[in-house]
Amino acid sequence: MRIVLLRHGETDRNATDRFQGQADIPLNDTGVRQAQVIARSLSPDGWSAVYSSCLARAAQTAAYAAGRLGVPHRRLDGLRERDLGTLDGQGRAEFARRHPGTMRRLLTDPDYAPPGGETGRAVLSRSAAALRTIAEAETEAEADKAGRTLPAVLAVTHGGVLNLLTRALAGAGATPEVLVRTGAAVCVDVGWSPAGRPRAALRRWNVAPHECEEAPAPPVPPSFVDLDSLVLDELNSKEVTRT
């Protein structure tokens, strides 16, 4: 199963390069246009569902895609952005200039938590659990269609989540160097191990989401990561609401 993880469209805080964390900031006019262009770029065939974070900027982006594709839109709490605590609202570039070591830890150290915020490991745990939830739900939904290739799923989330997931799935020595831009996507293939455990492989990152529909096979077999190994507990990503 292919899960296409899409970063939401632009907000005013994105445009001014400020941290926004879990502040519920809607899309700005540019973000709305991005979401509309993305929706029109997707083929109406081959998608089973659209999931999104509960935050407005992700849910708005997802709603355009779900309307275009004619599939359900489900909100999944585990896809929400990282809680950045006291960093919320600060300018990213100025913070990086004044605190380069802290900025590096924020982006690369999974055990770092900004004051009042979440560790990267906690965010990775709930986002990996969200991928597992999506895979289980969509596999079950298609169980009566034996022999059919499972349709792709679109999951609209956030830059901080995607940074952590791509680093975890890419493995040592292959970490993507560029953060996923607004309106860009990460292509992930999710399957099941011989023991029945969910596992995921990173295929592409920072690409237009429609490029994930027919992503070419890599020259070498993908390196799968056990999703359960990234999940800290069973309390994450359990609440799904429908729109």
Give catalytic residue positions: 8, 81
Quick check: 40 and 69 in contact, CB under 8 A?
no
Instruction: Quote the CA–CA distance of 85 and 117 in Å, as a whole number.
Output: 4
Residue 149 CA: distances (Å) to CA of 33, 100, 140, 142, 145: 32, 46, 13, 9, 9
In 125-144, which positions are buried (b, 16+ CB within 10 angstroms) versus exposed (e)? bbbbbbbbbbbebbeeeeee
117 Cβ contact list (under 8 Å, min separation 6): 21, 82, 83, 84, 85, 86, 87
Instruction: Quote the CA–CA distance of 137 and 72 in Å, as a whole number.
Output: 13
